[in-house]
Amino acid sequence: MAEKQVILRIKRQQSPKEAARWEEFALPWRPSMNVIICLRDIAENPVTRDGKKTTPISYDSNCLEEICGSCAMLINGKARMACSALVDQLEQPIRIEPMTKFPVVRDLAVDRQFMFESLKRVKAWIPIDGTYDLGEGPRLSAEQQEKAYPLSNCITCGSCLEVCPQVNENSKFMGAAIFSQVRLFNMHPTGAMHAKERLQASMGNGGIEDCANSQNCVVACPKGIPLTESLAEVQRDAWKQALFGWLIG
């Protein structure tokens, strides 16, 4: 009997300027394989299924335990982290492509700088006075912590942007991850002092008003973050700010 194999079809692209092409690989199956292990196998023996020599595949990865957010890609059409994509749970041939909402760098590696720039735009931080000793932070109830903690688990992987119909060539919609961070910082007692600035930055080109409530984001999020709640809350607060801001100051 032939050795059990894993068959993969991988979309390759040498550089942003060059055209994409597909390559197929056949790897020896082992228990508990994930997609990263497959990509490493290929790097060790870069030969396609039909015996042609090729180059190792470029991809982003780091922690391999779904907490750094690096290895998001499309696996069988679904945006997900490659490290936790277990081969035995995937239909073969496994189809692997780079995410489509971000510029491709090479092969499966994409540029998600847009997300980090957006975090800058919405001032996703607590503006502390300095790192010198100023005593303890504000007291928070356990309930408040339990509400904030899940939002703070966002790994900026980009899956929510990938599945969002509002993120497209014609729109600069910042995406659910970003507005969820706005909510997180506006929730914090110190952060709330600057909620207005964040809400203002959340409106306008690519802002919260572009959300069309497709709710794809919350399904795609690998960390189970309540993204639609965040969107709704920021939307409501932003409207309030826009309509009555002059009244409430």
Residues engaged in binding another protein (CB under 8 A): 14-15, 30, 32-34, 36-37, 40, 43-46, 53, 55-56, 58-70, 83-84, 86, 105-106, 109, 112-113, 116, 119-120, 123-128, 130-131, 133-137, 139-142, 144-146, 148-149, 152-153, 155-156, 185, 188, 190-191
Closer CB to another protein, 144 or 171, in the complex: 144
Q: Which of 26, 10, 157 lies closest to 97, judged by CA?
A: 10
| Shortest reach from residue 5's CB to another protein, in Å | 16
Which is it for the CA torsion 4, 65, 36, 167, positive or negative?
positive
Q: What SS3 state is found at 22?
A: strand
| Shortest reach from residue 246's CB to another protein, in Å | 26
Closer CB to another protein, 86 or 243, in the complex: 86
| Shortest reach from residue 244's CB to another protein, in Å | 27
Residue partners of 233: CB distance under 8 A and separation at least 6 = 183
Closer CB to another protein, 61 or 235, in the complex: 61
| Shortest reach from residue 103's CB to another protein, in Å | 11
Closer CB to another protein, 59 or 166, in the complex: 59
Closer CB to another protein, 44 or 169, in the complex: 44
Q: What is the dihedral of CA 221, 225, 227, 229, to 10 degrees?
A: 150
Closer CB to another protein, 119 or 227, in the complex: 119
| Shortest reach from residue 106's CB to another protein, in Å | 4
Other beta carbons within 10 angstroms of residue 67's beta carbon come to: 14
CB 229 within 8 Å of CB 180: no
State both tokens at 55: 């180059």
CB 93 within 8 Å of CB 7: yes
Residue partners of 200: CB distance under 8 A and separation at least 6 = 241
| Shortest reach from residue 18's CB to another protein, in Å | 9
